[in-house]
Amino acid sequence: MKLRKFVTVTTLASLLASPMAAFAETPGVKLPDANTVKEEVKDLKDKAKEGAKEVSEVAKEEVKKAEEKAKEVKEEDKKEVKEEVKDAKENAAKQDVKVILKGTALELENPAVIKANRTFIPIRKLAETSKAKVEWNEKEKSFTITKDEKVMKLTIDSDKMMVNGEEKKLEAAPFIQDNFSYLPLRVICEEILGYTVDWNAETREVTLTDGGEKVEKKAEEVKEAIDKKAEEAKEKVGEKSEKAKEDIKAETEKAKEKVEKKAEEAKDKIEEKLAK
């Protein structure tokens, strides 16, 4: 084997003990100059630094592009979110139920809602406006509403209520939503507050009217009817008066024609007598 021509047992042992020394002792093997090795190592280090610098610059550029892209995406997401929020608010506004009390929209603590085809509202604002007293029992989760001689008690999630000690059944139970207690509007208005409830599906408005308003409304309707009849009568009188004037004028013309005719006939007769 060729290896045996250059490497002896002693050389092999030296290689294992000290590779550089072994090469030094091995015939035909020339060791590189130390300075040359240092230069090569330095060149390699410089190239590695340059390469690392180029990689770092490229990486920074890529990171910058990625950040800009992320910013664009974030701004786009913000825009989409804003649009969605705007649409949601508009839809919510369309779905809100307005409560009209004595011709004025009632400013509730939280918007009225429709549930089980019934209108529910936070009751405190309406009760206070209607001069009713409201008491909340935290332990029982119940409301007691008092006005004049009437007392009503309703309990959250219960379809039973008490009115002046008499138990009655509710078509829909009170509930809690968004940290507000919602009570059935129509029942409270008709049982204790004394309002008549009218629902307009097109405008999503609940109109509350009391007895006094009904009388005023009826009086206004009667007044409008009387005014209308008076106007119609006036028009008829005017029409008759005009017709009467025309009739009188026609009769006058006829009478005038008769008088003139008689006068002409009389004149003719006088002239005939004078001629004889």
Q: What is the DSSP string of 51-112?
A: HHHHHHHHHHHHHHHHHHHHHHHHHHHHHHHHHHHHHHHHHHHHHPBEEEETTEE---SS-B
Pairing of strands 98-101, 160-163: unpaired
Q: What are the structure tokens assigned to 249, written together?
A: 């004028």
pLDDT in tens, 218-254: 556 777 777 787 777 777 777 777 777 787 888 888 8
Check residues 102 and 155 and name the one with the higher pLDDT. 155
Confidence (pLDDT) at 90: 52
Residues of the chain above pLDDT 70, percent: 72
pTM, two decimals, is: 0.45
Q: In what order do the strands lie in the sheet with 175-177?
A: 113-115, 118-121, 180-184, 175-177
**pLDDT at residue 30 tops 50:** yes
Question: Which amino acid would we find at residue 247?
Answer: D
Nearest to 152 by CA among 140, 139, 135: 135
Nearest to 161 by CA among 149, 148, 174: 174
CA distance 261 to 60: 125
pLDDT in tens, 194-217: 999 998 888 888 899 886 555 455
Q: Which of 64-78, 81-95, 220-234 has the lowest mean pLDDT?
A: 81-95
**pLDDT at residue 152 tops 90:** yes
Domain 98-209, CATH number (from 3.40.50.720, 3.30.930.10, 3.30.457.10, 3.40.50.300): 3.30.457.10
Cβ atoms of 25 and 18 within 8 Å: the answer is: no
**Cβ count near 188 (within 10 Å):** 25
- The DSSP secondary-structure symbol of 163 reads E
CA distance 253 to 243: 15
Q: What are the structure tokens assigned to 162, written together?
A: 């008490």
Mean pLDDT of 107-120: 88
**pLDDT at residue 11 tops 80:** no
